[in-house]
Amino acid sequence: MKDQIVEANAGKFRDPEVTAKGEPRAKVSLSDPQTLWFNTGTLCNIACLNCYIESSPENDALVYIRAAEVRDYLDQLEERRWGVREIGFTGGEPFMNPEMIEMARACLERGYEVLILTNAMRPMMRPRVQEGLRDLVETWGDRLTLRISVDHWKAARHDEERGAGSFAQTVAGMTWLRDIGARMAVAGRSLWGETEAEARLGYDAFYRQNSFAIDAFDPGETVLFPEMDTSVEVPEITTACWGILGKRPADVMCASSRMVVKRKGAERPVVMACTLLAYDPRFELGESLAEAEGEVALNHPHCAKFCVLGGASCSG
């Protein structure tokens, strides 16, 4: 993946201050922090064909974060007065992490909304996890949301990405969540050339068929992510682009969120500028939230294609 990015965008995204043409590179300040993300670890029960973070049953480049470490960052949130409303958990598969329920509970107890991204497959369906989720839903209700990865509303296309039988397993997990009254959302992908309208109609039919209380036409409940094709050349974002595109720095994801990761072999977690760039050291901002308050240079193809031009956001 990294080699494809370099080849497609040779000469670009090198200098955090200027583009390849010598124009001032756009930067984004943390102007309205709304979400603090935790990567729970890159281990996953499956290996998807186009996983942006290359999660798999073998990839432990990012190791399991611990509940004590999450609590430390929650303390920092209060000290820094960021005003965050939501704590997000992504992976890998978050329910592979043995402390996932404890971490979610710690955040809910502090008054935050919690968003967990999951494939709703076997790790989530273990009896101990089910017991913990029931308790969280009964205690905090809609303050907890599980965003399920349903790459496509048709089983065959979803299984192209995630393996034969994965759609059926995910639907079984969603059915269980429905029956305990859990709030659900869905994350889909735009791999197959459908228009957004066609995709949303497809998801709507899927939800109706399964009695899932998810709005297919609400972008916050059914999130359709643009694909990050690393072999495609993308433009660099300059300071002039904001006016040309009719966008503001505050519209970009790094204006409102940060992500905490723990690298294999590291003593402590670090804070990243973006959920999409967990491996890129240029976007590592330090170990503390105080260090993570600085500007972020849009110095990566994903900054342009996914966030500025694609208009995507990982939060609800």
314 found inside a domain: no
Task: Give the model's pLDDT for residue 306.
Answer: 78
N- to C-terminal Cα separation, the chain: 27
286 found inside a domain: yes
The domain total for the chain is 1
Question: Do the beta carbons of residue 173 and residue 130 sit within 8 Å?
Answer: no
293 found inside a domain: yes
168 found inside a domain: yes
β-strand pairing of 113-118 with 86-90 = parallel
Place of tokens 């990405």: 161
315 found inside a domain: no
pLDDT digits 0-9 by tens, 44-71: 999 998 888 899 999 999 999 999 999 9
pLDDT digits 0-9 by tens, 211-248: 999 999 999 999 998 776 666 788 899 999 999 989 89
pLDDT digits 0-9 by tens, 129-140: 999 999 999 999
- The CATH number assigned to the domain holding 299 equals 3.20.20.70
Domain that holds residue 286: 2-309
Place of tokens 């993570």: 292
316 found inside a domain: no
Q: What's the average model confidence in pLDDT over 33-46? A: 97
Question: Do the beta carbons of residue 298 and residue 19 sit within 8 Å?
Answer: no
